[in-house]
Structure formats: C-alpha cells, structure tokens
Amino acid sequence: QTSLRVADSLPVGHFFAEQGLKFWIAEVRRQTNNAVEVQHFPAEQLGKAKDMFQLAMTGVADIAYVVPSYVSDKMPLMTVSELPGLASTSCQGTRAFMKLVRGGVLDKQELAPNGFVVLFGAILEPYQVYATRKIESLESINGMKLRTAGAAQGATIKALGGVPVNMAAPDTYESLSRGTIDGVVFPTASLLAYDLPSRLKGATQDVSFGTVLISYGISQKKFLSLPENVRQAMLSAGDAAANNVCTFLDNGVAANRAKIAAAGVSFTRLGEADTKKLAGIAATVQKDWAAALDKRGKPGTEVLEAYVDALK
Amino acid sequence: MLAASIVVLLFLLLAGGVPVGFSLAIAGAAGLLAHGGFGLLSGILSTTSISTVSSYELISIPMFILMAEFVILSGIADNLFRAAAVWVGRVPGGLGIATALSGAGFGAISGSSTAAAATLSATSIPAMLEQGYEPRFACGVVAISGTLAMLIPPSIALILFGIIADVSIGKLLIGGVIPGILVTFTIVLTVLYLVWRDPSRAPRGDGHSLREKVSSLRGVWAMIVLFGFVTGVIYLGIATPTEASALGAGGAFAIAAASGRMRGGKLYAASLNALRSTAMIFMILVGAHVFGYFFTLTGVTPKVVAGIGALELPPWLVIAVIIGILVVLGCFLDQIAILVLTVPVMLPVVQAMGYDPVWFGVVMIVAGEVGMITPPVGLNAFVVARYARRPLSEVFVGAWPHVLAHFVLIAVLVAMPQLVLWLPSRML
Amino acid sequence: MIARNRALMAALERILRAIGVACLLAVMAIVFCDVGARYLMNAPFPWSYELIGMYLMPAMFYFAVSDTLAADHHIAVDLLRPAMPPWLARGVEVLGGLAMAGVFSVIVWLFASSSLEKWASGAVVMGAVEWPSWIPDAIVALGSAVIALRLLGRAVGHALSLVTGKALIALPARVEDH
Ligand code: NA
Ligand code: NA
C-alpha cells in the first residue's frame, strides 16, 4: 500500500484538478488494484503556486503542481510550452510536451538534472486578447493596456504597440470596469471563472498570444522509491490524464466562446496580412527566448526546435 | 492528540507574553517537527518564509500604514476630529458614531482591516480621549470600525475567498455592500446603547453655530482631498485598489511636506514606525502560515467538519456550529490562515445543504470580523493597542459589546440570506 | 565584551532598517511613478511588479524584523505579564527566545545554502528583466541571521540574570509600561 500527498494551488473544483488529477488518481488506482492512496491538498493549502516545485523536492508533498513560468529560475526550458504562436489547440501542444518530458530533450536537459519527473501536464488553449472595445484588426491593439502574464506574452503585446500590465488576475474585474486596463490576455475558461465577459466587447479568435502549461510531477528520489508496478501505472495513467484534460479543454472552447459571445463579446478572425504579421512577431519572441537561454549556456534553440518538431 | 498538545503549547507561549508571530511559528514548527521530522519542517520553512512576504499584492498593508503615519505627521488628523466634534459633538457618543462612519468610508477605499484600524486609531482615539471618552469604549469602537474594511468592497479577504472557493469575485464584492451598511448601523446602535446605559462613557461635546461648523471644515480639506484622491484614482480607473494604497501614501507624503512639519528626522521616524508595524504584521502572517500548514497536514480541520456531517443535524444548527468554529479559530489564527484552512472543507458541506457560496463567503467574513477583535489573537485589537499606545486588555474589553452585537447581526444574516444575495442577483 | 557585541548588533540593525525604510519609500515612489507613467503616457515600468514583489517586499520584512524586536514592537498578548514573577517572565524569555532563534537558524541555513547554489548556477527568474534569484534568498538569510543573533543574545542575558540574580538585561517594555 502506497500513500501519496498531492499539493496544488488550484481552487477547489478547478477543471484541471477534476479532469486531470482526479482522472489520473482513478486510473492509477485501477491499474494497481487500489494499491495507491492519495491525499489531496488543493487551493494553496501547502503553499503558493511558486512554492509547489520546492514542496515536492523537499518531500512536504510527494506530488506537486508545477507551472513553469512560476519556477522559471529552476525550469527555464519548460517555459518553451508557453511561447506564442506555437500550438493551435490544447491537445496539439500537450502531446508534443508529453513527448519531450518522456525521455525527450526536456527530460534530459532539465528534469533529470533537477531530479524531477513530470507525471502529466497539459497546455491550455491558445490565449486570446479580450478588450473593452471591439477588435477590428491587430491595429486595434495598438495603445491598449492589456493584462498579461509572463515575459513572452508581454513581449508579443508590446510588439503590437500594446501596453502590457502586470496585475493579479482577481483584480482584473474591477480594473476593466473602471478602465484601469483595456483588456486581458486570457484563456476562455479563466475569462468565465473571473466573471469578465460582461465587462468586455471584443476578442481575437484562432490565434495564439501564448499559453500556460500546468503539470503535476514528483521528485525522482520519491519516484524511484516506489514499487515498479506503481511507477509504470503512474506514467501510463499520466499519458491518459494528459489526453483526457486536453480533450476536455479543446471540446470546451467552442461552448465557452458561445457563452462569452452571449454576454456581448464579438470575436474577430484576423485577416491574412494580420495573421502573417502576428506569426512574424511570435517567431521573433520565440527566437529571443531561445537566444537568451543560449547565452546563459542553456540549450534554448535545441529545445525550441525539438518542440516545434514534436508539434508536427 | 498531537494537534491538541500543539494548541496548548501555542496558548502557553501566548500567555507567557511571547510575541504572537513568534508563538505561532514556534508552535507550528514544533508540530511539524513532531509530525514529520526535520525534513518536513525545513521543507515548509524553505517555501513559506519567503513566499509569504514576496507578493506585490501585499503592498497595500505597508502603504496604507505609511499613509496613516504621514497623516499623523501632517497634523490634519487632529483637525478632522476637531471638525467631527463640532458637527456631531452634541449627539451622545458622537465621536464614536463618527468613527463608525469614517470606518465605513475608509473601508470603501481600503481592502485591509489592519490598515483601516491603524488609520482610525491614529486619528479618532486621541480625539475621543481628549474629549474625556472612556478609553476602553474608544478603543473598542475603533477596533470594530476598522473591520468594516474587509466587508465593504474592496476587500482583500473576500477576494481571497473568491480565489480559494472559485466563486465570482464580482458577486462577492457586491454581496458585501448591504451587510457592510448593516454592520455600520450595528456599531452605531451599540455606541448609542452603551452611552444610554452609562452617559459618563462619552461626555457630550459643546454645541456649535453653523458658521463654526462650516469654518471647522477648513482644517479638514487636506484629509478630504486625500480621501477623494484615493477613491478617485480607483473609481476613475487610474489605479487598482492595491496601487491606490501607494498613491495614498504619496498623497499623504505631499500633504505632510506641505504642512511644514516634515523635517528629515521626522520623515525617517514616521517611515520607521510604518516599517516596524509592517514587520510586526508580516511576522504574524509568516507564523500563521507555519502553524496553518501543521493544521492542514495533520488534517485537523477536515476531521472536525466530517464529524459535524456525520451528526445529521438540521442545516441552521450546522451553520451555527460552523460559525462557532470560525469564531474559535479566529481566537488564535489570522484571517488569511482561516480562509485557507477552512474554505476547502467547509464550503462543500455548506453547498451540499443548499446554501449559496456567495452568501457563505460574506457570512464567513462577518464572523471573521469578530475574530479580528477577540483575544488572544485579534489583529485589529493589536493594531489599535499599538497605535493608541493603550494596553491590549483594554482594547479587548472595550470591543466585547461589539462582539455580542455582531452575533445578533450574524443570526439575522443566517435567517435572511436575501440581505446578502439580493444585490448580487441584480447584477447581470 | 558584552557591551561591544551589543553595540555591534545595534549598528547592524541600524544599517538594515535604514535599507528597509529606503525600500518602503521606494515602493511608494515606484508605484506612484508607475501608475502616473501608465495613465498619462501609456508607458508603465515593466520591471516594477517583479522588483517590488521579489526584492523590495522581502527586504522590507527581513531587514526590519530584528530591529522591530529590539524596539519591542512585535505585538504580544500582555494580559498575564504584569502578574508574572520576574523569574517566570525571564524563563519564558529564555525558552521562547531560544526556540525562535532555532527557527530562524534553520531559515538561515536553508536560505544561505540555496542562495549560494543559485549564485553559482547563475539562476534567473525570467520576467521583464532577468532577475538573479540568489538575491531574495540572501536577503532572507541575512535578516534571519541578525534576528537569530539578537534572540540568542537576549536569551543568554536573561539566563545570566536568572542565574546571577542581577538584572543584566531588562524585560521587554511593552505598551502596559507606558
Ligand atoms: Na474595503
Ligand atoms: Na481573535
């Protein structure tokens, strides 16, 4: 009988815990004839999002939630998954990511040296720009103050003449109402969770301003201490869970978008010229990301190329 | 068994006069050590001792405290209450009522109770004492009025609840409006009752002519400008409530500089005071987190809540028990720690009985207000004691009538959930 | 020797708290200018959010925590203190002080080693700027080391006072004494 403590910072009932973690737990238990017991500590009960990796490494938790952008000093290469203009659906990005962490370049270059094993992870749908004004074209973004998260999103918005603003997600509702910001760069699910559609008028559709990777992992030390059959089950359940959560996400986008549209937000598909322009900006952001890592002696270009390859 | 001994240890440390933040950290560390050994303790310390204090959103605490220090330095706080005395001095307990109203007003710009309590203590307690108010009466009304800031939007506590429970923050904030007004009335009524029972608690001020009333406002304009500035930058969309705290400090800095009272040494002394109060509050936050993680890891809270579920009691009684637990936890835990610990386990129980999560969030905050002013850990009482330089025991005793009045109000909110839910239901 | 150590401690705390005050005023000034630049010129400082959250906030706490103790500004429940005999009050100071010094010593050990490790590996947080991540850890380690020494010194002073029966160090003067 193996007992594991799982920690994350997601709110109770968050879709990722429901569709990813709970699915994974059930699958592991099924494959091992209930030989694994899991105690779940959600909602920052054991620490904040940026603490989670450390909690797993110190054994406070056995399995912890890891979002690369929160631990970019420990896992800079993992943030490749959050760059703009890459995956166009959750499942496309998720499958590529899972390849790179199962013995691929991310495993070799970053996870193994850190002593960490990713059990499963999923890349959210591509983030869109949502604004308090209609978006006719990329030109509309010029001069807009947009709440962004992470360096890559910020660089993309800046290249379009927008003004990236740092702000806690819960502050966005009031800030949009009062015009402190003109919009947000968000996935549909967060937009609904923070109740923002009623504050918004326009949105982009089917492009990528970057995204976020959510994963659960375990320290190598703990992993290797587990029985062989449990380890096998954890990895194969991980593949299934990643698949389950990305499918859930991709299936949900249309319904979420309909809800958002029903609240009065009009979605705009960019014209051909704009689509090309955005792709060019995204490519520059990707290259800059890789170059910055290369300069610090990390294989940024190698990882970017491997990820782009895996997306095909 | 371990959890019980750790709680006893905490109470012994607190009773012995060990600083609150230290007591929480020591008891929590001892518990973690006993529960999971040195590895567990060092794992928790390696994360929480830095992540608790490295957050941009936390600047509202030091910034609103700094604003209060600069307001004191400028001398306009004295003017404000001189004017308040002129306007409401004839009403029994007039300054107490003015304190409650300014607590509500300040609450509309501040999301932090402690900052509100600091500002109110600095301004209204000296004025009340000068007019011969009973010190504990004065401290009590200031401590409770400060808590309005966590109910009237913007509220850090309600936002935290929304994040943890995944409930609409917009609805939660709107849901706090009517209860906030009701709490203000409750404080005013309690003040009137206390003064009616014993008029010597609050000597009546002198009456004043309309001309005197109008001219009394001359010394107050800077304060009104400052409050207008802070409110204005938020509502005009210039800044978020978090940022507005720093703008308020900047505005108070400018007013203090203009008053001619700010010489180099005084600027440093005021800033150092704010820095020390910040360190004091942050130490409690760090300690509360260490202690909270011990509670979480030993599963104390879920066991208690599961025990309640097994009893199959009528819903109102379960709610009563839950509120009782919240108030008891409020006796020795910080509000943030309570939310983190209890929401994930209590909310499912409450929702299963058909209660609305928005309603529960607001009721939790009202119950939490009680925790802010009850011994031994009552953050607002601490702040008032520190700023008014009065003994802590006096603040706790003075707050007692307000605690009783709050219980009545909580009962009303439980009996009539519409008081909370009506306004959010009007929102689209 | 005791006097010299005490003067050294006080000087250390004076320096750290001055940095803390500078951080506090810097937060005020940076946010003020940041909001102004965003509203008036649509050009906020991209670095302010991370600089304040990662560096200035921990510095404000850890560079002030020992000085706050020295000034007896950490709030304590003072209901029972006046009724306690001096030997009991000193006993509590010794035990509580040693326990808390222990907690802070663990923090020093954890953060000094992680800071060195991050410094050696050149780890950075990738934000608007590449922020060296050894600095916050060093702030925590330094501030904790100073308060651990302060707590240890106090505990020794109270213990010696207990043993010798002479009041070598005063009991904390909190609000009720004023
Ligand atoms: Na408020
Ligand atoms: Na309390």
DSSP per-residue codes, C106-132? HHHHHHHHHHHHHHHHT-EEESSSEEE
pLDDT for res C175: 39
> Is the pLDDT at C177 greater than 50, yes or no?
no
Is the CB of A50 inside 8 Å of chain C's CB atoms? no
Residue partners of A122: CB distance under 8 A and separation at least 6: A16, A20, A90, A94, A97, A213, A214, A215, A242, A245, A246, A249
Q: What is the 3-state secondary structure of chain B?
A: CHHHHHHHHHHHHHHCCCCHHHHHHHHHHHHHHHHHHHHHHHHHHHHHHHHCCCCHHHHHHHHHHHHHHHHHHHCHHHHHHHHHHHHHCCCCCHHHHHHHHHHHHHHCCCCCHHHHHHHHHHHHHHHHHHCCCCHHHHHHHHHHHHHHHHCCCCCHHHHHHHHHHCCCHHHHHHHCHHHHHHHHHHHHHHHHHHHHHCHHHCCCCCCCCHHHHHHHHHHCHHHHHHHHHHHHHHHCCCCCHHHHHHHHHHHHHHHHHHCCCCCHHHHHHHHHHHHHHHHHHHHHHHHHHHHHHHHHHHCHHHHHHHHHHHCCCCHHHHHHHHHHHHHHHHCCCCHHHHHHHHHHHHHHHHHHCCCCHHHHHHHHHHHHHHHHCCCCCCHHHHHHHHHHCCCHHHHHHHHHHHHHHHHHHHHHHHHCCHHHHHHHHHCC
For residue A297, the chain C residues in CB contact (below 8 A) are 122
Q: Which residues of A are less than 8 Å from C136 in CB distance? A: none
Per-residue pLDDT tens digits for A256-310: 999 999 999 999 999 999 999 999 999 999 999 999 999 999 999 999 999 999 9
Query: If you compute the radius of gyration of chain B from its CA atoms, what whole number of angstroms results?
Result: 21
- pLDDT value of residue B31: 97
Confidence category of residue C174, pLDDT binned at 50, 70, 90: low
Please give the mean pLDDT across all residues of chain A: 94
**Is residue C49 exposed (0-12), middle (13-18) or buried (19+ Cβ within 10 Å)?**
buried
pLDDT-based confidence at A32, cuts 50/70/90?
A: very high
In which order are the strands placed within the sheet that holds A116-123? A36-41, A2-7, A63-66, A213-219, A116-123
pLDDT category, B154, cuts 50, 70, 90?
A: low
**Tokens for A235?**
């990895």
pLDDT of residue B158: 81
Question: Which residues in chain B have their CB less than 8 angstroms from residue A47's CB?
Answer: 44, 47-48, 51, 293
Most B CBs within 10 A among C75, C109, C158, hence the mutation to make, goes to C75
The string of pLDDT tens digits covering residues B258-316 is 988 888 799 999 999 999 988 988 898 899 889 888 988 988 766 766 777 777 788 88
The verdict on a CB contact (< 8 Å) between A151 and C128 is yes
| Closest-approaching ligand to the CA atom of B109 | 1
Percentage of chain A beyond pLDDT 90 is: 88
- Does the pLDDT at position A73 exceed 90? yes
Q: C135 at the B interface (CB within 8 A)?
A: no
**215-254 in chain B: CB under 8 A from chain C:** 233, 238-239, 243, 246-247, 249-250, 253
The closest of C71, C69, C75 to C151, measured between CA atoms, is: C69
Which residues on adjacent β-strands are paired with residue A72? none
Question: What distance in Å separates residue C38's CA from the closest CA in chain B?
Answer: 8
pLDDT tens, position by position, A223-234: 999 999 999 999
Candidate from C48, C126, C133 with C-beta closest to A151: C126
Residue B183 has pLDDT above 60, yes or no: yes
pLDDT in tens, A35-64: 999 999 987 889 999 999 999 999 999 999
- Give me ligand 2 centre to Cα A90, in Å: 46
So what's the pLDDT on residue B163?
A: 67
Phi first, then psi: what are they for A213, rounded to 5°?
A: -105, 130
The answer to whether A151 contacts C42, with C-beta atoms less than 8 Å apart, is no
What integer is the mean pLDDT of B352-362? 88
Q: What's the gap in Å between A302 CA and the centre of ligand 2?
A: 56
Q: List the subunits that have 3+ CB pairs under 8 angstroms with B.
A: A, C
Picking from A12, A50, A58, the nearest residue to B46 by CB comes out as A58
Dist CA B286 CA B282 (whole Å) = 6
pLDDT at C83 over 50: yes
- Average pLDDT, whole number, for chain B? 84
- Predicted confidence band at C178 (pLDDT cuts at 50, 70, 90)? very low
CA of B338 to the centre of ligand 2 (A): 11
Residue A227 backbone phi and psi in degrees, to 5: -60, 150
Which H or E run contains A186? strand A183-186
* B:30-59 residues touching chain C, CB 8 A cutoff: 30, 41-42, 45-46, 49-50, 53-56, 58-59
B46/A171 touch (CB, cutoff 8 Å), yes or no: no
Q: Which residue from C107, C172, C178 is facing B389, i.e. has the nearest CB?
A: C178
Whether residues B21 and C62 touch (CB distance < 8 A) is answered with no
Q: Which domain holds residue B210?
A: 2-425
Compute the distance between CA of residue B172 and CA of residue B164 in angstroms, rounded to an integer: 13
Q: What is the spatial distance between Cα B61 and Cα B117, in angstroms, rounded to a whole number? A: 11
pLDDT of residue A215: 97
Instruction: Tell me which residues of chain C, numbers 47 to 86, contact chain A at a CB-CB cutoff of 8 Å.
Output: 48-50
Mutation target among A141, A142, A166, A285 for the C interface, most CBs of C within 10 A: A166
Q: Which ligand is nearest to the CA of B367?
A: 2
User: Per residue in B167-177, pLDDT tens?
Assistant: 776 678 778 88
Question: At residue A275, what are phi and psi to the nearest 5 degrees?
Answer: -60, -45
Tokens standing for residue A12: 């109770």
> What is the number of domains present in chain B?
1
Say which ligand is closest to the CA of B373.
Answer: 2
Q: Does C62 touch chain B (CB under 8 A)?
A: yes
pLDDT at B380 over 90: no
Most confident option among A38-42, A179-183, B188-192, C61-65:
C61-65
Determine whether the interchain pair B43/A59 forms a contact, defined as Cβ–Cβ distance below 8 Å.
yes
- Region C18-22: mean pLDDT is 98
Of A73, A166, A296, the CB nearest to C49: A166
Which of A72, A150, A165 lies closest to C44 in CB terms? A165
Do A58 and B39 lie within an 8 Å CB cutoff?
A: yes
B163, B238, B293 member nearest A170 (Cβ):
B163
pLDDT at A96 (0 to 100):
97
